Amino acid sequence: MTGESKQRPTWDEYFIEIAKVVSTRSTCLRRFYGAVIVRNNIIISTGFNGSPRGEANCIDTGRCVRKELKVPKGERYELCVAVHAEQNAIINGDPVKMIGSSIYVAGFNSDGSLASGAPCLLCRRMIRNALIDRIVYLNETGETVICKWSPEQKDWLMI
Residues assigned a catalytic role: 86
Question: Are the C-beta atoms of 49 and 85 separated by less than 8 Å?
Answer: yes
Question: Are the C-beta atoms of 28 and 64 separated by less than 8 Å?
Answer: yes
- Amino acid (one-letter) located at 118: A
Round to whole Å and give the CA distance between 92 and 148. 22
Question: Are the C-beta atoms of 22 and 35 separated by less than 8 Å?
Answer: yes
- Amino acid (one-letter) located at 85: A
Q: Is 12 exposed, middle or buried (0-12, 13-18, 19+ CB in 10 A)?
A: middle
